[in-house]
Amino acid sequence: MSDKNSKKLRLTFCAGTGTVTGANFLLEGPLDKNGNLLEGEAGKKFLIDCGLTQGTKLADDVNWQDFQYDPASIDILFITHAHIDHIGRIPKLVHDGFRGKIVSTKATKDLALPMLMDTVGILGRDTADGLDEIYNEDTVKKIMNLWEGIDYHQKMNIAGGFQMSYKDAGHILGSGMLEVVFNGKKIVFTGDLGNSPSPILRDTEVVDDADYLVMESVYGDRNHESRDERNKMLERAIEENYKNKGVLIVPTFSLERSQELLYEINNFVENKQIPRMPIYFDSPLGIHLTEVYRKHTECFNENAKKLIASGDDIFTFPGLHVTLSTEDSKAIAESSNPKIIIAGSGMSNGGRIIHHEQRFLQHPENTFLLTGYQAVGTMGRMIEDGATHVMINGVDTKVRARVVKIAGYSGHKDSNHLLEFVSHMADKVKQIFVVMGEPKSSLFLVQKIRDNFALNATAPSVNDVVELEM
């Protein structure tokens, strides 16, 4: 029986279910006895994330459909972190009428500007579908004028009885779990949860008092190698590439993965663990984002802070070549082997990496190193799954290079650590909604939560609506 003083909120899973990408959740309330949103200042509509669904062309088409809600009716959009699958649809939201406030941590706000401008550079070229009218500099300026950055744990009180704050998710710089407190009860939206311990960032904070949990499940059905093992695997891949006089091709995400790899290779070089060879960081976006990392060292863990205080630039080292210009990028191909090329995009679905892949995938002395999740439909996923041929820029390209996967470099918690995260709130949480994962991952995690903790866990579908008793 419900408490006579309880109130209800409504949660709609607009996107980000049945798939890893495209996070978008609508929280409304309080509701009257008929289930309608209270009128006036008391009734609020909040969005949590507004990201692009990435992967196949079908997924791309979903992004240009109308929202399930009126963007002009949204009071505040809360952003968990700056990955494009969490912020990439904001330009369309603004284009379609949103004029409310956007809130995130300060680091997320600073990362969002270059991330959105990079998306403008890609999608803004599409005149056939009219995306140039949505993804342009003017829209990004409007977005940033609406955006407010707050500190971790800073309480934001909102008319109607809501209090919002962020805890550190440990996923990327600035990533935050959104805590929504209403009528003495708490809803937590995890965003993406970091694969702690990170070499650079603080660990994911403990949450032990959530009444409702909306959690990610990218690796809900499998576990990563340990940090020590992943370091050994990276060192081994570099050494074997050197012996083979080959090219180590590393498609990497410009945000977080690039900075983590630079940090790890910096340690290898300084400790003389790997032979000297040219290492190319061929990612203009990654280079700009690394500068944002340098600005927000308050988000770093104590070890990273100590290294910086000792005078160590943790993102650079002898042998590193940073290539901003197109001319410098093209020149990499002519440089002598062995060498390492780190470039975006992380799933090989665009960016400079595809030009290097077209040239170097065909040679057996080379190595193709995957260090992160590869969405279904992307070229990275095809190669991970064993494709012997891929189409690159309309050219049939043979895959003869050795393919190596290091799951431990994922920025997401694996299955065991997701369960550990849940364990801290197992005595309190009423219901868990498992989202942001492929169906097999989400459903596996749901079953493990049920089996381990006897909790009410479900994997919602797109457009599912639930009422939360607060």
pLDDT of residue 42: 85
Same domain assignment for residues 66 and 144:
yes
**Any domain includes 393:** yes
Same domain assignment for residues 415 and 405:
no
Calpha distance 37→246 (Å, rounded): 62
Select from 181, 69, 156 the least CA-distant residue to 104: 156
**Any domain includes 246:** yes
Answer whether residue 1 shows pLDDT above 60. no
Same domain assignment for residues 330 and 455:
no
pLDDT of residue 57: 61
Answer whether residue 2 shows pLDDT above 60. no
**Any domain includes 351:** yes
DSSP state string for 171-192: SSTT-EEEEEEETTEEEEE--S
pLDDT of residue 376: 84
Same domain assignment for residues 353 and 456:
no
pLDDT of residue 421: 98
Same domain assignment for residues 38 and 122:
yes
Same domain assignment for residues 263 and 212:
no
CA 211 to chain CA mean position, Å:
25
Same domain assignment for residues 383 and 429:
no
199 pLDDT tier (thresholds 50, 70, 90): very high
Same domain assignment for residues 379 and 450:
no
**In the predicted model, what is the mean pLDDT of residues 8-34?**
96
**Any domain includes 448:** yes
Calpha distance 389→364 (Å, rounded): 14
Where residue 259 sits, what CATH number does that domain have? 3.40.50.10890
pLDDT of residue 58: 57
Same domain assignment for residues 32 and 116:
yes
Same domain assignment for residues 70 and 104:
yes
Answer whether residue 186 shows pLDDT above 70. yes
**Tens of pLDDT along 119-145?**
999 899 888 888 999 999 999 999 999
pLDDT, averaged across the chain: 95
Same domain assignment for residues 192 and 286:
no
Residue 268 domain boundaries: 227-409
One-letter amino acid at 219 equals Y
Same domain assignment for residues 231 and 367:
yes
Using the 3D structure, point to which of 409, 428, 457 is the last residue of a domain: 409
**Tens of pLDDT along 408-447?**
888 999 999 999 999 999 999 999 999 999 999 999 999 9
3 pLDDT tier (thresholds 50, 70, 90): low
**Any domain includes 1:** no
DSSP state string for 120-179: HHHHTT-TTTTGGGTSSHHHHHHHHHHEEEE-TT--EEETTTEEEEEEE--SSTT-EEEE
**Tens of pLDDT along 330-355?**
999 999 999 999 999 999 988 999 99
Answer whether residue 287 shows pLDDT above 50. yes
Give how many domains the chain has, as a whole number: 2
